[in-house]
Each structure stands twice: as structure tokens, then as C-alpha cells.
Amino acid sequence: MSTSADGDVDTVAGNLRSVGEHVLDNPALAALTGPHAHFAERRGRVLRYPADVSPWLGVPDRLEAGDWADLAALLGPGTDAPFAGFAGEPPAGWEVTFDLPGVQLVDDGLVTAPDPEAVRLGPADVPEMLDLVARTKPGPFLPRTVEMGTYLGIRHEGALVAMAGERLHPPGWTEISAVCTDAEFQGRGLATRLVRAVAHGIRERGETPFLHTGAGNTGAIRLYEALGFRLRRRSRFLVARVPEHATAEV
């Protein structure tokens, strides 16, 4: 499995610009050919994060037969290929195991502020972060996801009870993700405080916050809209399983 060289990244980025009207139309590819290029593992026109960093793939808007073959080789037979914002359908032999309508929201007047109780989370905090994610299920969070950006948490009597952080990083934008609160501490505004604090750091860098959530997660959508996010586009989260007979040679 190879890490992208600068020239390869430039080629894929050129493909992105030719098919996408906006970097947020294909944020994973924009991130992996931009600020997150140091994470990128590539084969042909398809890219991925390391398996312990993030499951998201960076793929062209229109996948050709060769791209599917490269994707199968990059991931390996029998593994799951998660797509964010993918509009097409996998080819014959690829089993769809998850298909969820989603939404993408962007900053439209969000009030941001640092939080005096929020602490920066790092590698030493990962076991607690993974435990909180397992109990609250905010979305994918893996042992090295913390390396994707800034993660902030709030502790109560030393225990991590809420967190939020940064995930995808297309040029000029940063996704807020892993927003979660322990069930015992919900309803106290901790998530709101952390979203505003994470967004404050993003704004301080001259970038704009955005986020994704499931279209059916109406409570979260109402909260985000009340905070100052607006719907930019409807999306789709799809997971397709690589055929067992696919080659794993890279």
C-alpha cells in the first residue's frame, strides 16, 4: 500500500476540480488531496485514510470500472468501503450493507466562543474517548482519529463526559464531528458549548466550520440550525462490501 507522492496528489486534485463545483461536494477527496494529504494511501484515482484514522474514502465523483478494481485492491476482499456523498451505485458483486440519507450543514452565523472548562484531548485520552463513543454512537471514531484535528472534552470529577472535534479538512473548511455527551449529562448544554468552542478554533485559523449528520436525526439538525448552521446539501452515507473474490494485491 503506497502513500501518495506530491505529483500523484496533484493529479487527483485536478480530477476533483474538473468534476466538482465546490470542495464540499466531495469533502473526503478534497481533504485527502489537500490538508490531509499526509494521511493519504492511494491506488490509481482512489484514496483512503489509514484504517485506524478514518474509514472515509476519497474517490472521484464518477467511478469507472478501473476505479472499482483499484478500490478493491486498496481495501482488500471482504472489507467495507464507506462513501460519504456518493450518488451512484456499486457494480455487480459489491453488497450494499448500509445506506442512509444524510445532510451537510455549514456555518451561517454561528456564535463561537472558547469554553473555560474544555480541555484539549490527545493520544493519552483515546481509551476514554473510544469508551464514550461506544456508549453514545456519534459516528466513526477510531484509535487515531484524534490526529485529524483538535478535539476538546469536558470532564466531571476527572471522567470524560462530553467531547467534540475536527474530522475532514477540505481546503478552507473543517468538519466538526464526534459530538457526544454521556447520557447522565445530556440536557446541560455541554454539546452546544463544545461545538462553539471547536468552531471558535476553526474560525481562528480563517476557516469555516461544517458538519454532517443523518437526515433523520431531526433533533440534532434543529440544534445545529439554532446554533447558526444552515443546510447546504442533502447527502448519502453508503457502505459497500468488497467482493470476497477481489484481489488484495496493491
Q: Is the predicted pLDDT of residue 11 greater than 70, yes or no?
A: no
pTM: 0.88
173-181 vs 208-214, strand pairing mode: parallel
Q: Is the predicted pLDDT of residue 29 greater than 90, yes or no?
A: yes
Per-residue pLDDT tens digits for 56-111? 999 998 999 999 999 999 999 999 999 987 778 899 999 999 999 999 999 999 99
Per-residue pLDDT tens digits for 114-125? 999 999 999 999
* Distance from C-alpha of 222 to C-alpha of 158, rounded to nearest angstrom: 31
> By C-alpha distance, which of 61, 36, 34, 35 is closest to 46?
61
Q: How confident is the model at residue 14 (pLDDT cuts 50, 70, 90)?
A: very low
> By C-alpha distance, which of 135, 171, 174, 176 is closest to 152?
176
151-156 vs 119-121, strand pairing mode: antiparallel
* Distance from C-alpha of 250 to C-alpha of 232, rounded to nearest angstrom: 37
Per-residue pLDDT tens digits for 30-52? 999 999 999 999 999 999 999 99
Q: How confident is the model at residue 245 (pLDDT cuts 50, 70, 90)?
A: confident
Which cell goes with 60? 472521484
Judged on CB neighbours under 10 Å (0-12, 13-18, 19+), 117 is middle
pLDDT value of position 19: 40
Question: In 3-state terms, what secondary structure has residue 184?
Answer: helix
